A and B are shown apart, each in its own frame.
Chain A
């Protein structure tokens, strides 16, 4: 396919609460990715950064910030902000540059330093800001995750034990990932003993926020051949579609959904629309997928994603989980990196870290986490304000 690009190198700074400047994580990840690719920094002609909005001006211009930190060498730069999909949008910008012939080889990088405690909106009386309104009414982020989880319980018969089993599964495999922040194996009893946050979700069902950095070196297929990497994994598809009116699921930070009352308008589920474009673009279907990295902001959300990616019929993801099919060694392993459960969210780096994991898996370099014979992997994530992404990587 003409729209494929090669993944020559990947790198990640371990996730954690290290308390350093975000630039340091991005530089470490970029240097690891450059070394992995065997590409000199001076040869990179495009630097595409995922923005962080929590680290001041350098975060808003992350592409330039990383280019300066690695040493100005004249490369063109870009910075993308798309909430949790920022990394994928930065990757898409690099792909466009490469496919247009303007750049042969590019660095895509995202990193974040997260503050401690709750993220809260600015004060005052500001009813025009939906984020202010929902906090005033006592509706926090876990509220939304819990609404989705409780709906699964009532509609499909999912149980608290199912949600805990997702955490147990992800913590087991994440314990084998040296880049994960949480590397302890948790039992179902540990999850059940953690505090209830938003019924049915307990503290251990909900992901934390972390510091981290991830980077990817991508190139034209011609460049990859020239440096002897013709068999490198390829980005086969990137979907960053927005929702279609009327969005049927109430999303952070909104207090209500769109109305589907007008003639000719149907309620549409956004998450499920994300992989559709990716499958079409790659010319692949769910049955071709060997493993998936999905955005498990909560344990229950992993089950929603499995159905949104069409890896199970609607309502049947828990059955897949119970059969062990989504675990390492199962039919369709999900989140063999350990997922957000083991990493915590580092927003501009997270979507890139999913692609890093797929790259290691497709190269057969994932060690104790290796999915045997993996040839096709898919990612999925969703963030605020109509942002989301799904990327397909293939051998």
Chain B
């Protein structure tokens, strides 16, 4: 295992804790959640608030759907060589009433997944640079 420091691939989108959370915002007026963060205007048509608080989103949810990527995506994706397919899940968060996409952790494929399956948020490497390991949020089947 590399001894390089782990840094977020995208700054400010999730916490770096052992049990990480995505960081979103919530409208102070109507309670609508936003991910990625929205701090300028509320997109609920019944609300004209401009006040938001930063919140940690639920780190567990249920699979809305899932797939895998069998072909190497174009840049800015940074692929391992040789390219290794990976799974992707869309996970429904109960409290926030929204679906969030993310890769599924290495070693879990579509055969292991099902609509409705409980998932939890973890951090895993997205790619490595000369200086550090860029980590991002990924979904993994929840510990039962």
Cβ contact within 8 Å between B31 and A127 = no
Closest approach, in angstroms, between the C-beta of B71 and any C-beta of chain A? 6
Q: Which residues of A contact B110 (CB under 8 A)?
A: 150, 199
Q: Which residues of A contact B97 (CB under 8 A)?
A: 246, 259-261, 267
Closest approach, in angstroms, between the C-beta of A345 and any C-beta of chain B? 18
Q: Which residues in window 13-50 of B have CB below 8 A to A?
A: 13, 27, 30-36, 43-47
A223 part of interface (Cβ distance < 8 Å): no
Closest approach, in angstroms, between the C-beta of B123 and any C-beta of chain A? 13
Cβ contact within 8 Å between B74 and A118 = yes
Q: Which residues in window 204-251 of A have CB below 8 A to B?
A: 245-246, 248-250
A139 part of interface (Cβ distance < 8 Å): yes
B11 part of interface (Cβ distance < 8 Å): yes
B59 part of interface (Cβ distance < 8 Å): no
Closest approach, in angstroms, between the C-beta of B124 and any C-beta of chain A? 12
Query: Given A135-B74, A138-B103, A267-B97, A262 and B115 touching (CB < 8 A)?
Result: no
Closest approach, in angstroms, between the C-beta of B60 and any C-beta of chain A? 16
Q: Which residues of A contact B126 (CB under 8 A)?
A: 136-137
Q: Which residues of B contact A264 (CB under 8 A)?
A: 46
Q: Which residues of A contact B86 (CB under 8 A)?
A: 138
Cβ contact within 8 Å between A262 and B31 = yes
Closest approach, in angstroms, between the C-beta of A57 and any C-beta of chain B? 26
Cβ contact within 8 Å between B73 and A138 = yes
Partner of A136, one of B10, B43, B95: B10
Bound: A93/B106 CA distance, A: 50
Cβ contact within 8 Å between A198 and B70 = yes
Partner of A262, one of B10, B11, B30, B136: B30
Query: Given A137-B136, A262-B27, A143 and B67 touching (CB < 8 A)?
Result: yes
Q: How many A-B residue pairs have CB under 8 A?
A: 150
Considering only CB atoms and an 8 Å cut-off, how many residues of chain A contact the other chain?
Answer: 49
Cβ contact within 8 Å between A256 and B47 = no
Q: Looking at chain B's contact residues, is the secondary structure mostly helix, strand, loop, or mixed?
A: loop
Query: Given A250-B90, A255-B36, A261 and B31 touching (CB < 8 A)?
Result: yes
Cβ contact within 8 Å between A258 and B95 = no
Cβ contact within 8 Å between B90 and A147 = yes
Cβ contact within 8 Å between A265 and B44 = yes
Q: Which residues of A contact B136 (CB under 8 A)?
A: 137
Cβ contact within 8 Å between A150 and B67 = yes
Q: Looking at chain A's contact residues, is the secondary structure mostly helix, strand, loop, or mixed?
A: loop
Bound: A140/B85 CA distance, A: 13
Bound: A260/B94 CA distance, A: 10
Cβ contact within 8 Å between A150 and B66 = yes
Cβ contact within 8 Å between A256 and B100 = yes
Q: Which residues in window 129-145 of A have CB below 8 A to B?
A: 130, 132-140, 142-143
Q: Please encode chain B, from 55 to 74, with 1 for each CB lying within 8 Å of some chain A CB and 0 for all others.
A: 00000000011111111011
Partner of A133, one of B10, B34, B64, B66: B10
A69 part of interface (Cβ distance < 8 Å): no
A96 part of interface (Cβ distance < 8 Å): no
A1 part of interface (Cβ distance < 8 Å): no
Q: Which residues of A contact B64 (CB under 8 A)?
A: 147, 151, 250
Closest approach, in angstroms, between the C-beta of A201 and any C-beta of chain B? 8
Query: Given A118-B74, A143-B69, A198-B67, A259 and B34 touching (CB < 8 A)?
Result: yes
Closest approach, in angstroms, between the C-beta of B13 and any C-beta of chain A? 7
Query: Given A136-B9, A246-B97, A256 and B35 touching (CB < 8 A)?
Result: yes
Q: Which residues of A contact B43 (CB under 8 A)?
A: 245, 258
Query: Given A154-B115, A199-B70, A138 and B88 touching (CB < 8 A)?
Result: yes
Bound: A151/B114 CA distance, A: 9
Q: Which residues in window 338-367 of A have CB below 8 A to B?
A: none
Q: Which residues of B contact A135 (CB under 8 A)?
A: 73-77
Closest approach, in angstroms, between the C-beta of A119 and any C-beta of chain B? 8
Bound: A76/B51 CA distance, A: 45
Query: Given A121-B76, A127-B11, A265-B32, A196 and B98 touching (CB < 8 A)?
Result: no
Q: Which residues of A contact B99 (CB under 8 A)?
A: 248-250, 256-257
Q: Which residues of B contact A118 (CB under 8 A)?
A: 73-74
Bound: A143/B86 CA distance, A: 11
Q: Which residues of B contact A262 (CB under 8 A)?
A: 27, 30-32, 44, 46-47
Closest approach, in angstroms, between the C-beta of B93 and any C-beta of chain A? 8
Ordered by A's residue number, 6 sampled pairs between the chains whose C-beta atoms are within 8 Å are: A118-B74, A127-B13, A137-B136, A199-B67, A250-B101, A256-B98
Which residues of B are at the interface with A, using a C-beta cutoff of 8 A?
9-11, 13, 27, 30-36, 43-47, 64-71, 73-77, 86, 88, 90, 95-103, 110, 114-116, 126, 136
Q: Rank and list the top 6 A-B pairs by shortest CB-CB distance, nearest first.
A: A146-B67, A154-B115, A120-B74, A259-B33, A260-B97, A151-B65
Which residues of A are at the interface with B, using a C-beta cutoff of 8 A?
118, 120-121, 123, 127, 130, 132-140, 142-143, 146-151, 154-155, 195-201, 245-246, 248-250, 255-265, 267
